[in-house]
Chain A
């Protein structure tokens, strides 16, 4: 059965329809999940898409993390469900403590809107399952606060556990250790600054994002069938 993807929206989210279309075209069904909802049951995977939740006021993701839906997202993640935060969604997941570290302002003071090259660093995450380590992908970024940072101890742990999921080939924003995406310890929650949904059709200049989204849907199918069996 086609996996069912919930795309979580906050006031100011603006990439939700791109995300829905991209996963639908890969055979999934997808619906919007409102930030005020208190349940995410019935979904096989969740995407927190890009945008400017609550205007990015205070800090990106700082207000959104207190949305009622975030408790449901945390519960879904704790039970092993695949969760992917893209750009602002990544920022929300770090603020919520579902992923380590924080996203700071870009080192170069510019809002960056460009296609970057990424290197897949592990095949062991819900977003890169089945994708060979070393695969290079061309996927757009679109952010002002994408400069990933964490303390030295956290960075060492991320490296030791191979939880850096994606690295920039040419670091555009000053991210520590060229990090573009990381996952949690259980490897079912992934955050990344690049936008795979914007590289999901030849008309967009790249279909490399579909490699990641297809892997996510594969993980969702596994997770979904697991839930049914349980």
Chain B
């Protein structure tokens, strides 16, 4: 078996469409104070970065997806996207 390599993971978590986002709405309401009146549809979310030691891209993605689905996002109200790429030093 190949030595595990290190992969960088980015998980973005956002509220599902249709779920009210009081935080995003509040940010949007603050923008006119900056003189910006054309900004709409603000949605707040979270992003998580971490490294995973995995055999390959697919393995890293599979592991990261477990982290995203089981812990980082609550599927009742949130959805997530996962991107994986080889960590800088080991590429």
Contacts and interface: CB of A to CB of B under 8 A. Distances in A.
Interface of A: 58-59, 62, 66, 94-95, 100-102, 104-109, 147, 149-151, 174
5 contacts: A101-B76, A102-B76, A104-B19, A104-B20, A149-B77
Contacts, number: 32
Contact of B76 (A107, A109, A150): A150
A102 B77 CA distance: 7
Contact of A58 (B22, B72, B76): B72
B23 interface: yes
A58 B76 CA distance: 15
Interface in B34-91: 71-72, 74, 76-77
Contacts of A59: 74
Contacts of B77: 102, 104, 149
A33 B19 CA distance: 35
Given A58-B72, A102-B74, 12 more contacts: A62-B71, A101-B76, A104-B20, A105-B22, A105-B23, A107-B20, A107-B22, A147-B20, A149-B19, A149-B20, A149-B76, A149-B77
